[in-house]
Chains A and B, each alone.
Chain A
Amino acid sequence: MKLSEEFSQSSKVLSSKGFTNEAKLLAKIAQSKLEVFVLVTPQMEMGAALYRSSESVFLDKSKAQEVIAEATVKIMRDNKDYLYYSLEDANSNHKEYSSSEVSKKASAIFGVKIQFASNKFKLPKEATDEQLIEFAEYLGYQPVELKKIKLEV
């Protein structure tokens, strides 16, 4: 029996026993319609080309998004350079911010005055995860992204 046939049959068995979610999962797999989420890192200097950054895939998009948020914060904290944001960082993501706009928004997010100096915004080291994520979202900074692909059987 082909794998897809077995999954289809299993789906019917589970459905008849009331395991609705598991039955739906197997039915989607059987039809190669199950979408999964892979974490990838955009290769910034090449635009559309993508680097993979994770060897894990997720069935649940919200779980994948949680992992992305954690990864974003980790990257921002690990790399000291990322505690300094240039206006170019923001505007490379198709934003049209002025330095005063970013300073004002960053100051509101971090609760301290964020200065624009030497073409950079320096973020406080004691920033919380939530503050870093909010600032990253504002800038459109996405060091890790999700790519949706299909699971084939």
Chain B
Amino acid sequence: MDTDSLKVSADACEESGNNHAAKLLRELSDGKATAYLVIEKQSEYNDEIFEVIDGAPQKLFLDRKEAVAYAKLQNARQYKLVNPMLFGYELSEITDLSELELATRVRKILGDENFGIPNGEDMWDNYEPIFPKKATDEQMLKIASLFKIEFFEVIKTKVAL
């Protein structure tokens, strides 16, 4: 593929009313095509807490909204696999909520009045996941939104031929 044939192809797409395809081909030809990389971050244990660090690219999306939605869902699912309390020295590093407010909102989301979230000294003693395996994606999306730690991120990237 050369830039000239991409431009002519873009014109042909535009003439047939396929504007998104035309835009992509034209941007590829101009070296200005962008897409959105979803990065899965890695966790590193520093002998006290887990730290989220840069990670590996997982998927690439043309549409930013699609990329953000995918990253949010994967992030929410990741919360089901960890104890998020292990990702900070203080509760304030993990969530903007107080212990009581966090527990209240999680219980409401899960519909379980007795659900217990590790707090106080127990917060750092539990290495097992804390949220129930049966929690739905919808519930986990709401729960993940209560926390600050992001296990997935979206970055804008250039697409080169």
Contact = CB atoms under 8 A, between A and B. Distances in A.
A52 B21 contact: no
Contacts, number: 119
A13 B70 CA distance: 31
Interface stretch (A2-10, A84-92, A96-104, A111-119): A2-10
Contact of A63 (B12, B18, B160): B160
A149 B58 contact: yes
Contacts of A150: 59-60
B130 interface: no
A152 B160 contact: no
Interface stretch (B76-84, B90-98, B99-107, B150-158): B150-158
Contacts of B70: 152
A16 to B, nearest CB: 9
Contacts of B158: 55-57
Interface in A24-64: 25-26, 29, 36, 38, 40, 43, 46, 49-52, 55-60, 63
Contacts of B148: none
Interface string B52-86: 01111111111100100010000000000000000
B37 A7 contact: no
Contact of B44 (A9, A14, A26, A46): A46
Given A10-B21, A49-B56, A3 B62 contact: yes
Interface residues of A, number: 36
Nearest to B15: A13
Contacts of B62: 3, 29, 151-153
A21 B5 contact: yes
B12 to A, nearest CB: 5
A19 interface: yes
A70 interface: no
Contacts of B25: 22, 26
6 contacts: A9-B18, A13-B16, A22-B25, A26-B21, A57-B60, A151-B35
Interface of B: 1, 5-6, 8-9, 12-13, 16, 18, 20-22, 24-25, 28, 35, 37, 39, 42, 44, 53-63, 66, 70, 155-161
